[in-house]
Amino acid sequence: MAETDSRRHPASLAFDVGAATDRGSVRELNEDSFLAREPVFAVADGMGGHEAGEVASRLCIESLADEPVLRPGRRTVTALDVILAVRRADLSIREATGALAGTTLAAAILTEGEDGALAWLVANVGDSRVYLEFEGEFSQLTEDHSEVWELLALGELTPEEARVYPRRNVVTRALGTGFDADPDLWTFPASPGQRLLVCSDGLTCELEDEQIAGVLAEHGDPQAAADALVAAALEAGGSDNVTVVVVGVRTGDDDGAPAPPLPLSEG
Ligand code: MN
């Protein structure tokens, strides 16, 4: 049966990655951190004075990178693994900073479903974001944990008011603070032609979604797209640290076959 065969032999996929970060024009430090290698594409936006935010976001990313199930080559992570990994990251930050620092976390993580097909697990705590560009559509996958997002959802602010709302940087969930650190999770199949954008609010507080979509559409190469997005945020004011990870999905070259052995030396 063709369907069974395609499940047993899912098309191999390849991932092209770009990442860029900048301190911005106003902040003294860059308190954003990121991880951009299979199977984890993540951005953490630290908060807290005196370098504490920098420590919090770095510990968050280091903690994820150290998870055995999230090491390069692994594609078996489950939603429960992600929840536990976020809890461990939360704990490591609280222990290191005395809950005086926090960080957001937005992540897109590759995993293999039971049918062998690759899927994305998207996780979010705070107001960093994951967007999906696919077949000409550009949409935010995550929902912000922020005061302004909640007021928008309640209809108590218009989008125009939200843009200048004085407490628009206040998040309602964060890692490391001792408050709610549970991630929201989403999952969907990975397919050729998708591009995922993971970013800190230094991008989205400067640029409208349509502007972000426009810059992405102009740059097919993920690194060129990441560089152009950071440059556009700086040009628009750069009032915050800005971090961007772009992942493009395409059909793999090897059709699932193991890579041929490489010669150990030339000539
Ligand atoms: Mn920020």
Q: What is the structure's pLDDT at 11?
A: 64
Q: What is the structure's pLDDT at 3?
A: 45
Q: How far is the CA of 29 from the centre of ligand 1 (A)?
A: 11
Per-residue pLDDT band for 258 (boundaries 50, 70, 90) equals low
Q: To 10 degrees, what angle do helices 222-235 and 209-218 make?
A: 140
Cα-Cα-Cα-Cα dihedral sign, residues 176, 181, 187, 193: negative
| Tokens of residue 4, six digits | 């069974």
Q: How far is the CA of 200 from the centre of ligand 1 (A)?
A: 6
Q: How far is the CA of 5 from the centre of ligand 1 (A)?
A: 46
Residue-wise pLDDT for 231-252, tens only, equals: 999 999 999 999 999 999 999 8
Q: How far is the CA of 49 from the centre of ligand 1 (A)?
A: 13
Residue-wise pLDDT for 208-223, tens only, equals: 999 999 999 999 999 9
Q: What is the structure's pLDDT at 5?
A: 44
Specify burial of residue 1 (Cβ count, 10 A radius: 0-12, 13-18, 19+).
Answer: exposed
Q: How far is the CA of 121 from the centre of ligand 1 (A)?
A: 23
Q: How far is the CA of 104 from the centre of ligand 1 (A)?
A: 9
Cα-Cα-Cα-Cα dihedral sign, residues 85, 203, 16, 227: negative
| Tokens of residue 118, six digits | 């690759």
DSSP type of residue 221: S
Residue-wise pLDDT for 26-50, tens only, equals: 999 999 999 999 999 999 999 987 7
Q: Assess whether pLDDT exceeds 70 at residue 7.
A: no
Q: What is the structure's pLDDT at 262?
A: 64
Q: How far is the CA of 262 from the centre of ligand 1 (A)?
A: 43
Tell the residue number behind the tokens 């957001």, with chain if given: 104
Q: To 10 degrees, what angle do helices 79-97 and 52-66 make?
A: 140
